[in-house]
Amino acid sequence: MTALLAVLLGAAMLVWPAGLNHYPLVFIDTVSYLMHTTAPEVPWDKTQAYGPFLHLFHWERSLWGPLAAQGLIASHLVWLAQRAVRGQAGPGWHLLACAGLAGLTAAPWFLATLMPDAFTALVPLALFLLAFGGLSPRESWWVGGLATLFIAAHLSHLPTVVAVLAVILLLAWRLGPVLRATAPAVLAVLLLCLANWVAFDRFTPSPHGAAFLLARLQADGPAATLIRDRCPAAGWHLCAFADRLPIDSDEFLWDPGSPLNIEADGSPRPMGAMQGAREAQAIIAETLAAHPGDVALAALRNAVSQLLKTAVGDTLVDDHLALSARRPIAGHFPPEELAAFDAGAQMRGTLPALAEPFLLPHIPVLLGCALLAPWLLWRRRGSPAAALLAIALVALLANAVAAGALSKPHHRYQARIAWLLPLAVGLALMPRAAGPLAPSRQ
């Protein structure tokens, strides 16, 4: 009972910004995940995992249900991580860990947001637990199921998974831990492929993802150069706009007047990124073959830029919320839910100012943890604490590479996972538990 109470209290701590806002936090993309199961509208530019997760807990009644689920899931995984690192979980230490995450890191600002970003840091944490957490069979099934959901929730999680699995292989050198951590990744990819086969008649994890990579490659220059070199002979749609490239990647994807979204005569091209996915694949392949050095250099530059962007602020604004997340709530939820959404600080535009003082510790704490991590890695070498530290460090780097090289560097992309390092450092600094230790399956 004490353990359950600690997990419940920890969950409340980990989503406390929803209380500051008086409503769960949302983002412009939240609309796609809500419309997926309420309209229903299958999102062409996102995976089909997070929308059903939200629906499982809201049933078109209230978004507080999914928020509570995210907090409870995160709190329980932190409990299991504490047990793995210390040898035995303690309620007091758990509350200390959750309080530290809640007050000193970006964790609660993402766990309180109804977006797959809430799961980004939980991906490597769940894989650590499967490999080194000493889980019981029942716990393994639970964490493995969660890991499958986390991985499938966002395509940017896949490169991080590959990097983390490589670390697990290097640390474990045994088949059992590697297989336990690999199984959810394989299942997640299979589920994504099956979902896209049903929705788009394409057995692939990402039927239209090439448009996003093309947006990045043309913004960096190599793809724009290739298009100018190969056109008009290549016959691509983008040949008509070669003189306009490169442009900002977000403008390229989403601006109604971008080359992707208009025809050569200037008329609208509906779902331009979706229509242009196959052409994008061809341009990407030729760009990689013709300009590998330029692509690699740009990817490295973007990864470094992404690694240094860890602020929370760009997730708190009210930009476009009236036209995005409000739409499914207004059309499919009770009137009192819409009233609560409209009354929230985020919708009223006051949340950034309210949040500002709480965000101040994030960067200093993250920098301090980055300095402590190498010493702790050496001091706790060979232990689950060292494994979690190594996984956290590699996951942060892999996320920066994936988000920076495949998309445009944004603060939220790195802030959503950065809190994993303070968690790993904090747990490594805790004393080992006295008395009988948890059983190990390493």
Mean pLDDT by 10 residues, the chain (442 residues): 95 98 95 94 92 97 98 98 96 98 98 98 98 97 98 96 98 94 98 95 91 94 96 94 93 92 91 88 96 95 93 83 86 96 95 96 97 96 96 98 86 96 98 61 43
Say how many domains are in the chain.
2
Nearest to 150 by CA among 436, 420, 440, 423: 420
Asked if residues 108 and 14 have their Cβ atoms less than 8 Å apart, the reply is yes
- 350 and 280 co-located in one domain: no
The residue from 274, 307, 340 where one domain ends is 307
In a domain, 413, yes or no: yes
In a domain, 216, yes or no: yes
- 159 and 34 co-located in one domain: yes
- 89 and 224 co-located in one domain: no
Asked if residues 62 and 333 have their Cβ atoms less than 8 Å apart, the reply is yes
In a domain, 200, yes or no: no
- 254 and 381 co-located in one domain: no
Domain boundaries, position 82: 2-172+311-429
In a domain, 437, yes or no: no
- Tell me the H-state helices in 87-209: 91-104, 107-111, 122-132, 137-152, 157-172, 175-200
- 330 and 250 co-located in one domain: no
In a domain, 298, yes or no: yes
- 239 and 321 co-located in one domain: no
- 9 and 135 co-located in one domain: yes
- 123 and 230 co-located in one domain: no
Nearest-angstrom CA–CA distance, 414 and 170:
25
pTM for this predicted structure: 0.94
The residue from 307, 334, 354 where one domain ends is 307
In a domain, 442, yes or no: no
Which pLDDT belongs to residue 435? 53
Q: How many CB atoms lie within 10 A of CB 114?
A: 24
- 339 and 300 co-located in one domain: no
Which pLDDT belongs to residue 300? 93
- 316 and 412 co-located in one domain: yes
How far, in whole angstroms, is CA 425 from its chain's centroid?
21
- 215 and 351 co-located in one domain: no
- 22 and 168 co-located in one domain: yes
In a domain, 178, yes or no: no
The residue from 253, 281, 307 where one domain ends is 307
Asked if residues 437 and 384 have their Cβ atoms less than 8 Å apart, the reply is no
Q: Compute the C-alpha angle 348/349/355, nearest 5°.
A: 115
